[in-house]
Amino acid sequence: MPGSSDRPKPAAAKRKMLRLSSPSKSAMPLLIQISPSFNWNKPHKCFGLACQMWPKNTTWMLRFQPPQNDDVAFVLPKLPSISEFIAELDHGSEMVASLVEENASNRGKSESRDEIPVSELLDLEIRWPERASQSGSPPVVIARGGFSGIFPDSSIDAYNLALATSVPNVILWCDVQLTKDEVGICFPDLKLDNATDISFLYPLSAKNYSLNGIQTKGWFSFDYNLTELADVSLFQGVYTRTSSYDGNHFRILTVEDVVKLVKPPSPGLWLNVQNEAFIQQQNLSTKRFLSYLSTQGVSVSYISSPDVGFLSSIKSVFNPRTTGLVFRFLRENEIEPTTNQTYGSLSKNLAYIRTFASGILVPKGYIWPVDSNLYLQSYTSIVSDAHKEGLQVFVSDLVNDVPFSYNFSYDPLAECLAFIDNGKFSVDGVLSDFSTTPSAAINCFSGLEGNAIKQVDTLIISKYGASGDYPACTDLSYKKAILDGADVVDCPVQMSKDGIPFCLSSIDLVESTTVAESKFANLGTTIPEIKSGSGIYAFSLKWNDIKTLTPSILSPYSRFRLNRNPKFRNQGKLITLSDFLSLTKGQTSGLLISIENAAYLEEKQGLNVINAVLNSLQKVGSDKPGSQKVMIQSSHSSVLKIFNEKSKYERLYKVDKSIGDALDSAVEDIKSFSDSVVIGKASVIPQSQAFLVNYTNTVAKLQSFNLSVYVETFSNEFVSQAWDYYSDAFVEINSFVIGAKVNGIITDFPKTADRYRKNLCLKEAKKPPYMSPVEPGKLLQQISKAYFPPPAPPLPVLTDTNVTEPPLPSVPTPPSPAPALRVAAPAPNT
């Protein structure tokens, strides 16, 4: 993202773990957890580090002496042979040197005689990573109220979805509220009316209380016993999320209900307690309830609270080895009730926090603050400061459908990686409403280096360059698309009045420039053959006028207040097709040139866009063997047929409407003039009210005729995605690449797509649940009958008549100018 590279780079945090990876492969490095120190006498040199490995009783021992002279040892379970040990160590990455077979007679003898230097086992790169969590283990994933980004918070389906789609050791978060009979329930707020139907069941039962000095009216949990809440149903409490499950009558769960959902290897629950002083005013005690849980053998991994007094009071109740007490920071200017200090000031006194807690839970802005324009500032030292005090650090508010900073380009996975894989520090856990995202970030994307290789061959084609970050089709947009890993960079060709081909997303200059605010604003006209409504068209201005226009970034979801990179919304310059070819030459594996409105331009404006493109390509040698691959795209078969006759460029036929299938005869017709087909996402997986319905037969049919299939347009903004994709672009991309098996994707955020295809979970034969394609229709079928959307009309089948077109009209030869007439000069006055 623009601007991110300008951040200063503070000194690295103290390093706690070893990273081992094959130097010739980009296999996932294994971070080995530090174990208690062992004595050792006879070190060996392994790539500059002192190291040795030996079998000892039930484990294989691996010891290194890092450059800082910190003696550390590492332990993995004992395996029958060195080969199996190495396979476990490197998770199946290819070895680059032969293994030394183990001498079984050495097993069980003294450590000094059993030393086996790692350098004799395999050629491993050994280096100390610059970031590590406090525990040395991968960060944990905490599912706030289950998968509350989809289902109502703390509902049975929310918890089950989190368990089904996250890491196996996901921790379920429960906001503990007490009923009148002191039963603990899981619910996100003290007031029940925002996310339940209680106001309909008990319309006259709202009460007023003074809560933190503010008079508050509502339906409070402690005014009802558990029996009275039995018929209360949970609703979605966040209005930007789907309300389709409000008719499922999810009941309120008790803490004990949620406990029953937890299965190994999940360590247990995370219980969050707030407003304890207010609860005590109602003659109830959360401390008493938690003490009861401990007597029942309930496994609670963490208890968090923003109340110093409450955490201090329960410190003696729980074993710190099994239950961590976590101080939860609220907004920096809010007052903590026990100390009467702001949370911001308490964040500067972590030594005091350590006296009653083993960890802290902080909003993400405590770690990565943003300025008033929502751009990242330098990260703070709170993570390293807390780790120095022996405190674990957990980050909250990582929510996929609430944008945080423009630096992340609306990519929640990129945001998550900023907290766990930034090269400087890592938090110890991530609290999220969408637990698939941190699960994948930690286990699939973390540790990828800049030279990581692709795990899938999916082609990435830019949409107007990296138009999600810069104005479309500008030099900046194209440079970023190249930098971000696009295989093919695209140029939609428009024609100026004087016949200069140039790149722009639309023939209407209004859509991606500020022409309507320029001196050319009076050139607006209506041309029904091109579009409804008026526009200022490219062929109305000469190139010298067009190049003076200010570009304007495309923001297709601005109606949702999701604007793109406002700091750069008018940056960059428009470029001609020739400049585009020069800029991209040798920088990508291919180019895509799209041509639309060719018939109108020839017939009505006398502009031959096809010849202009062919001439430009010929001038730079793109028609020569061994040059960059050139792809020509059009939604008009007549255009592609001319290229088929005049060149050997790859041709892409764009189907500009959603289809559910295609007749064999129509596909045969396409095959006669095209090598590939571009279709929309709905032609692959149609939707009903933003829920996926099923896979169509479109991709399989086109590929059966040996046509490559490219799908558009993949954007990062969550409103562009079906609910099934959990508001995360990588989930959507994965469902098309792994699920639908498309050949390529067209995206305005190529960096997101390129990162996806390098993630290491893709090479696993059995994909983890957070890297498995979604099942179209699964979420849809969980909607109750009363809320079930009406069936969408079936998508049409592509027929021959949809494909066949008359040939393009010939450009008329302009008439020869009439000979000039000689006119006698006027006689001079006399």
SS (H, E, C) 385-435: HHHHCCCEEEEEEECCCCCCCHHHCCCHHHHHHHHHCCCCCCCCEEEECCC
Residue 1: is its pLDDT beyond 70? no
Q: What is the pLDDT of residue 134?
A: 63
Same fold, 140-189+237-445 and 459-788: yes
Residue 537: is its pLDDT beyond 70? yes
3-state secondary structure 206-227: CEEEEECCEEEEECEHHHCCCC
Pairing type for strands 429-432 and 140-144 reads parallel
Identify which of 642, 677, 632 has the alpha carbon closest to the alpha carbon of residue 798. 677
Pick the more confident residue, 123 or 334.
Answer: 334
Q: What is the pLDDT of residue 135?
A: 61
Residue 54: is its pLDDT beyond 50? no
Q: What is the pLDDT of residue 77?
A: 40
H helix or E strand, kind and range, residue 257: helix 255-259
pLDDT average, residue stretch 585-602: 96
Joined tokens for residue 351? 């030594």
pLDDT average, residue stretch 535-553: 98
Q: Report the Cα 531 to chain-centroid distance in Å.
A: 34
State how far the Cα of 259 lies from the Cα of 281, in Å rounded to an integer. Answer: 28
The answer to whether 488 and 590 have CB atoms below 8 angstroms apart is yes
Mean confidence (pLDDT) of the chain: 85
**Coil, strand or helix at 126:** strand
State how far the Cα of 397 lies from the Cα of 377, in Å rounded to an integer. Answer: 18
Q: For 189-228, what is each residue's pLDDT tens digit?
A: 999 999 999 999 999 999 999 998 899 999 999 999 999 9
Joined tokens for residue 98? 């032969």
The answer to whether 174 and 273 have CB atoms below 8 angstroms apart is no
Radius of gyration of the chain (CA): 32
The strand pairing partners of 508, in sequence order, are: 537
- Residue 664 to residues 34, 217, 633, 741, 752, Cα–Cα distance (Å): 61, 65, 22, 20, 35
pLDDT average, residue stretch 145-170: 97
Model confidence at 133, pLDDT cuts 50, 70, 90, reads low
Q: What is the pLDDT of residue 491?
A: 98
Q: For 764-820, what is each residue's pLDDT tens digit?
A: 999 999 999 999 999 999 999 999 999 889 999 999 999 999 998 764 444 444 443
Residue 454: is its pLDDT beyond 50? yes
Identify which of 431, 414, 410, 432 has the alpha carbon closest to the alpha carbon of residue 422. 414
Q: For 634-658, what is each residue's pLDDT tens digit?
A: 999 999 999 999 999 999 999 999 9
Residue 362: is its pLDDT beyond 90? yes
Pairing type for strands 429-432 and 392-398 reads parallel
The answer to whether 41 and 120 have CB atoms below 8 angstroms apart is no
Residue 50: is its pLDDT beyond 80? no
pLDDT average, residue stretch 397-420: 96
Residue 377: is its pLDDT beyond 90? yes
Q: Report the Cα 522 to chain-centroid distance in Å.
A: 43
Residue 35: is its pLDDT beyond 70? no
Amino acid at 227: T
pLDDT average, residue stretch 509-524: 97
Query: What predicted TM-score, i.e. pTM, was given to this entire model?
Result: 0.83
- Residue 113 to residues 39, 54, 72, 121, Cα–Cα distance (Å): 14, 9, 20, 16
Residue 476, C-beta contacts closer than 8 angstroms, at least 6 positions apart: 465, 470, 568, 571, 572
Identify which of 93, 98, 90, 195 has the alpha carbon closest to the alpha carbon of residue 152. 195
Torsion of CA 677, 681, 683, 689, to 10 degrees: -170
Q: What is the pLDDT of residue 755?
A: 97
Backbone φ, ψ for residue 257 (5° rounding): -60, -45
- pLDDT > 90: percent of the chain: 76
The highest-confidence range among 102-116, 118-132, 465-479, by mean pLDDT, is 465-479
State the maximum Cα–Cα separation within the chain, in Å, rounded to a whole number: 131
pLDDT average, residue stretch 374-390: 97
Q: What is the pLDDT of residue 42?
A: 33
Residue 723, C-beta contacts closer than 8 angstroms, at least 6 positions apart: 150, 242, 244, 690, 691, 779
The strand pairing partners of 634, in sequence order, are: 653
Q: Report the Cα 549 to chain-centroid distance in Å.
A: 34
pLDDT average, residue stretch 594-618: 96
Q: Does domain 459-788 have CATH number 3.20.20.190?
A: yes
State how far the Cα of 808 lies from the Cα of 596, in Å rounded to an integer. Answer: 12
Burial class (CB in 10 A: 0-12, 13-18, 19+), 245: buried
Place of tokens 């030279």: 451
Place of tokens 């109305």: 540
Q: What is the pLDDT of residue 556?
A: 96
- Of 11-20, 261-270, 300-309, minimum mean pLDDT range: 11-20
Model confidence at 447, pLDDT cuts 50, 70, 90, reads confident
Place of tokens 């296999």: 27
What region does 572 belong to: left with phi over 0, alpha with psi -120 to 50, or beta? left
Residue ranges of the domains in the chain? Answer: 18-127, 140-189+237-445, 459-788
Q: Which CATH superfamily is domain 140-189+237-445 in?
A: Phosphatidylinositol (PI) phosphodiesterase (3.20.20.190)
Residue 570: is its pLDDT beyond 80? yes
